[in-house]
């Protein structure tokens, strides 16, 4: 049994069945046993690969979008750049590297990272400071922005204070704990996690709560349907949108998910280990757990604050509209043979509808002028 499974089992034996959100939070971010806090999840040696790890143009296009937002705002001389869940730091490094075309932007910035993993923090430190190898030695003209790490978004926003904010979150929201509800003849009931055989193994399974979930209205879905909610994602968007509304700025959230016309697949809770889907209750704490992001709900929350300042794109449309193919062609002109084919395949993977282009979405948030 993994240490995380032992810990969760102990909690269930002591307190009874727990919500799926409690299960996910313990499995992913428990300080001693959690998946993100103890493992090295990203890359070919890890469990999954993300867009910025596939090809540099992903981060570059996001960086140019942010730079454009900063210019449209009239180039505020002091502002913050925030990333939620920066992984190995590759995305932030690509953004800061492309931002060198406007040294004034870099001078305006303090960079804030929200991260729960001490291991990934080390990766971030080396990849991000690696973008500015000569900083401080006078041989490179662009300044190195100051870097700050925070465990929670509230701490980051507190440190940032009353200045414009630019933010990004790629494959962060899918890692936040979800609740699941099952439709019965009598309405929705929450699904809880329990253990099948007290005293043996780590056989986790779902049972249905006997308390009706009165806050979920009947949407006419058939009996047996699963509904998911992610209060942490909603709170995150609310806090970010509120900051943009008060102090200005813009941001974007990229992830796999649904909304804007595409419907939830019902049960989207999934585990991934060594680049393959995995049974959700096996190898707890050593496999990634996630759920698709409900962009429809997040967009409604953000729009309420930002007077319709949000747009939901498919990742393919967002990247192509903002020039990924042109940027890729420019880089590929300098490459030959297998290197060139590999690069082209990476860009394809980001934009093709059958790959990441359609399932992945990009939601942009812009503060409207008062």
Any idea which residue has 């980001």 for tokens? 350
Q: What's the gap between Cα 185 and its chain centre?
A: 35
Nearer to ligand SAH, 115 or 366 (CB): 115
Q: Report the C-alpha gap between 344 and 229 in whole angstroms.
A: 37
Q: Report the C-alpha gap between 129 and 134 in whole angstroms.
A: 9
Structure tokens at 288: 């990634």
Closest CA to 238 of 155, 304, 162: 304
Stretch that binds ligand SAH, among 46-54, 156-164, 201-209, 265-273 (CB under 6 A): 46-54
The binder of ligand SAH chosen from 7, 29, 236, 315 (CB under 6 A): 29
Q: Are 242 and 167 in contact (CB under 8 A)?
A: no
Stretch that binds ligand SAH, among 82-90, 219-227, 233-241, 260-268 (CB under 6 A): 82-90
Closest CA to 96 of 124, 122, 115, 136: 124
Least Å distance, CB 229 to ligand SAH, is 16
The binder of ligand SAH chosen from 42, 156, 237, 302 (CB under 6 A): 42
Residue 234 in the binding site for ligand SAH (CB under 6 A): no
The binder of ligand SAH chosen from 52, 249, 257, 316 (CB under 6 A): 52
The binder of ligand SAH chosen from 21, 33, 53, 63 (CB under 6 A): 53
Q: Are 151 and 116 in contact (CB under 8 A)?
A: yes
Q: Are 144 and 129 in contact (CB under 8 A)?
A: yes
The residue sitting closest to ligand SAH, measured at its beta carbon, is 85
For residue 293, the cross-strand partners are 257
Residue 55 in the binding site for ligand SAH (CB under 6 A): no
DSSP string, 150-191: ESSHHHHHHHH-SS-EEEEEES-GGGS--EEEEEETTEEEEE
* Contact pattern from residue 84 through residue 103 relative to ligand SAH, giving x for each residue in contact according to CB under 6 A and a dash for the rest: -xxx---x------------
Closest CA to 227 of 271, 184, 279: 184
Stretch that binds ligand SAH, among 169-177, 182-190, 194-202, 362-370 (CB under 6 A): 169-177
Helix (H) / strand (E) containing 119: helix 118-129
The binder of ligand SAH chosen from 7, 22, 38, 50 (CB under 6 A): 50
The binder of ligand SAH chosen from 23, 33, 36, 281 (CB under 6 A): 36
Residue 289 in the binding site for ligand SAH (CB under 6 A): no
Residue 63 in the binding site for ligand SAH (CB under 6 A): no
Taking the CA atoms of 333, 335, 340 and 343 in sequence, report the sign of the dihedral they define.
negative
The binder of ligand SAH chosen from 94, 171, 283, 366 (CB under 6 A): 171
Stretch that binds ligand SAH, among 8-16, 65-73, 112-120, 139-147 (CB under 6 A): 112-120
Least Å distance, CB 207 to ligand SAH, is 26
Taking the CA atoms of 232, 235, 240 and 243 in sequence, report the sign of the dihedral they define.
negative
Nearer to ligand SAH, 28 or 193 (CB): 28
Question: For the stretch 312-335, what's the b/e string if a residue is b when 16 or more beta carbons lie within 10 angstroms of its beta carbon?
Answer: bbbbbbbbbebebeebbeeeeeee
Residue 280 in the binding site for ligand SAH (CB under 6 A): no
Residue 316 in the binding site for ligand SAH (CB under 6 A): no
* Residue 161 exposure: Cα atoms within 13 Å on the Cβ side: 5
Any idea which residue has 């910035």 for tokens? 109
Nearer to ligand SAH, 49 or 129 (CB): 49
The binder of ligand SAH chosen from 61, 80, 111, 120 (CB under 6 A): 120
Q: Contact positions toward ligand SAH, by CB under 6 A?
A: 28-29, 36, 42, 50, 52-53, 85-87, 91, 114-117, 120, 170-172, 175
């Amino acid at each position: 049994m993994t240490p995380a499974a032992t810990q969760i089992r102990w909690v269930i034996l002591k307190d009874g069945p727990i919500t799926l959100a409690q299960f996910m939070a313990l499995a992913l971010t428990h300080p001693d046993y959690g998946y993100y806090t103890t493992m090295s999840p990203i890359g070919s040696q890890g469990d999954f690969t993300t867009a910025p790890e596939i090809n540099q143009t992903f981060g570059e296009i996001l960086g140019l979008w942010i730079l454009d937002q900063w210019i449209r705002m009239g180039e505020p001389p002091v502002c913050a750049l925030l990333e939620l869940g920066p992984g190995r730091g590759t995305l932030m490094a690509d953004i800061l590297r492309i931002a060198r075309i406007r040294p004034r932007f870099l001078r305006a910035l303090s960079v804030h990272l929200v991260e729960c993993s001490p291991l990934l923090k080390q990766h971030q430190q080396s990849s991000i400071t690696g973008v500015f190898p000569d900083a401080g030695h006078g041989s490179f003209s662009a300044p190195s922005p100051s870097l700050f790490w925070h465990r929670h978004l509230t701490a980051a926003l507190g440190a940032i204070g009353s200045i414009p904010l630019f933010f990004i979150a790629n494959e962060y929201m899918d890692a936040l704990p979800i609740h699941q509800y099952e439709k019965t003849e009598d309405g929705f009931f929450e699904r809880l996690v329990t253990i099948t055989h007290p005293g043996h193994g780590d056989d986790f399974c779902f049972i249905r709560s006997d308390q009706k979930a009165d806050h979920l209205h009947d949407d006419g879905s058939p009996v047996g349907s699963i509904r998911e909610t992610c209060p942490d994602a909603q709170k995150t968007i609310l806090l970010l949108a509120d900051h943009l509304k008060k102090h200005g700025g813009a941001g974007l959230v990229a992830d796999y998910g649904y909304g804007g016309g595409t419907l939830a697949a019902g049960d989207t809770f999934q585990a991934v280990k060594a680049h393959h889907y995995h049974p959700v209750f096996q190898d707890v704490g050593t496999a990634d757990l996630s759920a698709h992001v409900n962009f429809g709900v997040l967009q409604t929350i953000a729009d309420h604050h930002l007077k319709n300042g949000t747009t939901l794109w498919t990742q393919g449309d967002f990247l192509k509209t903002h020039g990924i193919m042109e940027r890729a062609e420019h880089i590929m002109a300098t490459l030959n043979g297998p290197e060139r084919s590999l690069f082209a395949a990476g860009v394809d993977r980001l934009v093709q509808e059958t790959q990441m282009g359609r399932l992945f979405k990009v939601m942009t948030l812009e503060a409207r002028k008062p």
